[in-house]
Amino acid sequence: MSSSAPAPAATAAAEPEASRPRKMPVLLFDVMDTVVRDPFYHHIPSFFQFSTRPYSLFLSLVYRYPFIMSMKELLESKHPTSWSEFEMGLINEGQLAEKFFNDGRSFDLEGLKACMVRAYEYVDGVEDILCSLKQNNYEVHAFTNYPVWYQLIEEKLKLSKYLSWTFCSCHIGIRKPSPDFYLHAVDHLNIDPGNCIFIDDRMVNIEAALSVGMVGLHFKNAEALKNDLCSLGVELAPLVLEDETEVQ
């Protein structure tokens, strides 16, 4: 009997933790170009280029394929809906490779993924903000238009240290700025939309959040975001290093 005595004490100690009120607001972060740099505009066009072999020169002359693809040429030559379909989980990566370009040309899919992984990095200063939010026990979720390749971001940058990959378009089947995506998040979280702060670098997505009653913050840079969050009463704890020395 005496050996079982500590159990009730442990249960009692856990009760205050379980009954602690949920901390508000809940924060929803866009990922690309808000938390992580998007490689699409700066790295992907240079990936889609032809070698200087004679056959490639022949292709460039006959079919007007460029040796180095500009962003304008990439946008004009890619299939108009293949990437958004991939983001919504409607096609897999093999199907993406088959229809990425309007003319059906093939490309090195694994090479493209490797190029993107090399380019993934935190937007300056944002990791510190996420760390501060975690230290202050805020609930933080990703709210992103991205395909299953979000797993590549996670493998490299370990965003799950700071947030949950709760709302990814590839799993939900909806993309921003559809109001249904935002309403799904509110319903899933079981909170009033006014208790959600949504952060995104695209104003059209912010406007959609506002339309369903969320608080929207247009991301410009980490310092501006920090000021915006503080103005809303969000507590940002000073960063604490492993030796518990505060970083102001």
> Residue 136 carries which DSSP code?
T
Please, which residues have CB within 8 angstroms of residue 171's CB and are 6 or more apart in sequence? 89
Residue 13 banded pLDDT, cuts 50, 70, 90: very low
Integer Cα distance of 57 and 245 in angstroms: 60
Report whether 168 contacts 144 (CB < 8 A).
yes
Would you give the end-to-end CA distance of the chain in angstroms? Answer: 52
Beta strands per DSSP E along 63-193 = 140-144, 164-168
Half-sphere exposure in the Cβ direction for 165 (13 Å, CA): 20
State which CATH number among 3.20.20.70, 3.30.160.110, 3.40.50.1000, 3.30.565.10 fits the domain covering 2-37+121-247: 3.40.50.1000
Evaluate if residue 60 carries a pLDDT over 60.
no
pTM higher than 0.85: no
Every domain of the chain and the residues it spans: 2-37+121-247, 44-119
The helix (H) or strand (E) run that includes residue 218 is: strand 215-218
How many helices and strands (H and E) does the chain possess? Answer: 13, 7
pLDDT bracket for residue 59 (50, 70, 90): very low
Structure confidence by residue, pLDDT tens digits, 76-130? 888 999 999 999 999 999 999 999 999 888 888 998 899 899 999 999 999 999 9
Better pLDDT: 102 or 247: 102
Neighbouring C-beta atoms of residue 204, cutoff 10 Å: 9
Q: Which parts of the chain are beta strand (E)?
A: 26-29, 140-144, 164-168, 196-200, 215-218, 239-240, 246-247
What share of the chain in percent tops pLDDT 90?
Answer: 65
* φ, ψ for residue 122, nearest 5 deg: -65, 140
The Cα–Cα gap between 45 and 39 comes to: 9
Report the distance separating Cα 118 and Cα 114, nearest Å.
Answer: 6
φ, ψ for residue 166 (rounded to 5)? -80, -40
Maximum C-alpha span of the chain: 89
Q: Which residue has the higher pLDDT, 212 or 109?
A: 212
What integer is the mean pLDDT of 165-173? 98
Q: Is the pLDDT of residue 64 over 60?
A: no
